[in-house]
Amino acid sequence: MRFFITLIISTWFSLLAYPDLDVRGNYNENFLELQGKATIHLAKMAFKEGEDVYLDFTIKNFGKEPIRIFPTFMDLKTYQFTIIDENDESLTARDIYKIQDLKQKRRNTVVNLDGDQVKEIIIHSGEAYVKRFNLSQYFDFTPGKRYFVTGYFYPNYIEDNNTFLKSENHSIFIIEPKRKELRPKRYESSEVVQTGLTPEETIHLFLSAEMKKNWNNYFKFLDLDEFIMAYNKYAKEYAGADNQYKELVMDEFKNHLMEQKAGTLSYYKIEGKEKVSSDLMKVNVYVERELSRYPSKYEYIYTLKKGDPAMSGFWKITNVTVKVRR
């Protein structure tokens, strides 16, 4: 009697030691958890507004046993994504994945015992299965924001939606907003034509020269002796130097401006002005710069002083204050 009880117990634990079997008698999820790895890869890191955001979802078998997976034809079931923007807000997928693909109805499909449309895929040792997604088909992205993507793979979602693989990596991308074409201000015939330049026109020509890297015109709109005092790195050294050494400091300061270490100017928009006095004005400018393909947004406040009596219709830039915009 004891022999039969011992035999039954040992047989029971032996059965529990084997991986789960599917309806066909094949090993399924257990080998995937032990041998499979999921990774995601974006076509690039920066996409233009309206451009398709393509992502490759890869399942690779690093073990010796073949892996069987049963992805469903329903989008965002077998493959699921968590997408968070730079403000830690999670994106919700559109309801488009609920719409059936009519082409699939004309194909021969594998179904499980309940008649659900699934596909059986065998991944042998060292092989990988890759599926490409157009994320912009399922999610709405806001231009100018940075997004973080994590993938989740369910090997047999219809039968077991609690077993999944999380992607080994995360992907980051940004949606670049469309650039608006800058056009010069149009003056109505009733406006009084002024000689010289307004403060806004001065800033427009100054920033246009930077975008075109026309440095001769760029420096023409600066009162360099005052403008250098807005940069702490150079102000103290310039103020305490003799005339000969001042020239060296000024040359170094000009090189700093031309190197554009804050990023390349890609877009700007003059938003307003403030009259401080008859000879002093402030102009507010929205600015976008790109550094290593990552855009940054700023608010520049330029201070302009009217030129000497010989050039009373012109303005010189004497100071700048920079604020980061979110």
Distances (CA, A) of 92 to 135, 136, 163, 237, 280: 12, 12, 22, 54, 50
pLDDT one digit per residue (tens) for the chain, 326 residues: 555 555 555 555 444 444 444 445 454 445 677 788 999 999 888 898 889 999 999 999 988 888 888 888 777 888 899 999 988 889 988 865 544 444 444 444 444 444 456 678 888 988 999 999 999 989 999 998 899 999 999 888 888 888 888 998 988 899 988 876 556 555 444 444 456 789 999 999 999 999 999 999 999 999 999 999 999 888 888 888 887 888 888 999 999 999 888 889 999 999 999 999 888 999 999 999 988 878 889 999 999 998 776 666 789 999 999 998 87
Q: What is the pLDDT of residue 15?
A: 43
Distances (CA, A) of 67 to 30, 31, 74, 113, 320: 9, 6, 21, 20, 63
| DSSP class of 237 | H
Distances (CA, A) of 173 to 31, 43, 44, 150, 292: 33, 10, 7, 12, 13
d(CA 322, CA 303): 12
d(CA 218, CA 189): 30
Beta strands in 16-71 (DSSP E): 36-42, 46-48, 54-61, 67-69
Distances (CA, A) of 29 to 48, 74, 124, 205, 321: 39, 20, 14, 65, 59
pTM: 0.46
d(CA 158, CA 117): 9
Domains of the chain and CATH, by start: 14-176 (2.60.40.2970), 199-324 (3.10.450.50)
Q: What is the pLDDT of residue 72?
A: 82
CA angle 247, 208, 263 (to 5 degrees): 70
Question: How many Å is the maximal CA-CA distance in the chain?
Answer: 119
d(CA 57, CA 79): 8
d(CA 81, CA 164): 12
Nearest to 296 by CA among 257, 265, 271, 260: 265
Please give the backbone phi and psi of residue 12, each rounded to the nearest 5 degrees, phi first: -60, -45
d(CA 69, CA 39): 16
d(CA 309, CA 312): 5
Question: Is the separation of the CB atoms in 239 and 225 below 8 Å?
Answer: no
Q: What is the pLDDT of residue 31?
A: 66
